[in-house]
Structure 1
Amino acid sequence: MYGVVGAYFAYYYKSNWLKYKRSLFLIGFVILVFPKFISFNNFGTIYLCVFSFSINAIGTLFLIPYLSDFKKTKNAFIHKIVTYISLISYSMYLINLSIVKKWILNNVQIEDINSYLLIIIKYFLYWFLTIILSILIYKYFEIPTTKLREKIN
């Protein structure tokens, strides 16, 4: 739903879409990062089950004006990273939160580490595992499937 709203504004209000891209990027970044540092003890279950999906989608929507105007930078390394992540994005969608967070990270038990440090470790481990597993799915499933489709056609 939020993507449709974003597409509408990008098409019909392109000047405002691009005019406020930095402000919206900052707001989107805050929306995405802020809930990670707040404890939702009394409100946690309903937040995680209902509101977190909409808040993450809105935060991502606010990032899009800046990212949609992202041009090839002078730094080719950053451009290659962004391009490669866009290639493995469907695999990242398949891996998503369910496999990495629910099955893998919840089973990581480290007792002797500060809880804040543990959160940081799990956060980076989540991204590391998501990217590695996505690369494997892309390389060993998506590419062969695409080649097979091209042979059939």
Structure 2
Amino acid sequence: MQDLEMFHFHLERALYILKFRDKKLAECWVTQLNTSMGVQHTESFLTAAVLELSLTDTKTFHWVLDNLCAWRPYAHLLVEVTRFTLKKLISKGFIPSQDFSFDAQGKILMHEQTKKAIMADVSESDRLFMEKVLVIPQQSQQIPSLTV
């Protein structure tokens, strides 16, 4: 029970600190937490915090992923969201380089109708995460081919 209480305490603390939307404050806190709790535990708190924010505070959720996306737990999370999205695209019959492609940052490029099709049956939280890895090219742009 003590471990669960400690996790909940640090999760609440992470939510509190991230809601300030202050990168330096968050970095100082994470450095201190890494020292006292270890990197693995810190990553668990940070991941749980952003998942919680996706349900409770979308403005802070967006700030975290826009400003702290280079942090290892968030970078890993975005990679997993990208994998999830790719699996969803393929399971719905979409074809790489025809219906979707990738940009230089690893985001998924797709047409608006493709996006609508894969977003039709996802939760609000999943939609928020998927929005972070999807790009709709301007109408004049083509989706670049994956093959050369």
Fold shared by both chains (TM-score > 0.5): no
Instruction: Calculate the TM-score normalised by the size of structure 2.
Output: 0.28
Instruction: Calculate the TM-score normalised by the size of structure 1.
Output: 0.27
Higher strand fraction: Structure 1 or Structure 2?
Answer: 2
Higher helix fraction: Structure 1 or Structure 2?
Answer: 1
Which protein shows a greater Rg?
1
